[in-house]
Amino acid sequence: MAGGNVRLAWPFLIARGRHSGYRTLVSPEPLAGDGAYGILEREIEPNPDRDTPSTLELRTPDGRTFTAVHLSHVVSAKELDVADARDVHGRPLLLIFGLLWDEALLLKVSTADVDVAFRIALTAYRRFLARVTGHRSGRGCELERPLRACTGPLGPVT
């Protein structure tokens, strides 16, 4: 992206399983140390404009400020390599994924960075579904290292 700034950003994923409610499955490392990753599932809701990025400023209980760019994506059976991509109630499986910066920013994110965040989220979600048996999952959320993401002035994904 011409004229963009490169900053560290952490991918994240909030999703539900076939039997369980929404939870953070991939947590940005800065939120994991003190359990602040719960702020993601409390503050970020599914976007009714599927596959359209939204920006949200988050503040942890200890006063740290973050910026999240997130998208909602209905995952297909083909993307999961399964016969059916619905939960036990027949609802489509929905991923809420994105990138988190450890500062307050007005920004837009490149399509390439959104694609990387989606690939990380989809890979983690496949692992999550493979681990889940019945109503329980094998372990908690995964931690992700930061990416070097390109940001620019507030605007649409380019």
Mean pLDDT score of the chain? 80
pLDDT at 73 over 90: yes
Residue 82 scores a pLDDT above 60: yes
Q: Is the model more confident about 8 or about 76?
A: 76
Q: What is the mean pLDDT of residues 91-101?
A: 93
135: burial class by Cβ within 10 Å (0-12, 13-18, 19+)?
exposed
Q: pLDDT at residue 2 above 60?
A: no
90 Cβ contact partners less than 8 Å away, ≥ 6 residues apart: none
Cα–Cα distance for residue pair 24/40, rounded to 1 Å? 7
| pTM of the shown model | 0.82
Task: Report DSSP letters for 38-72, one per residue.
Answer: HHHHHH----SSTT--EEEEEE-TT--EEEEEEEE
CA 66, 152, 73, 146 torsion-angle sign:
negative
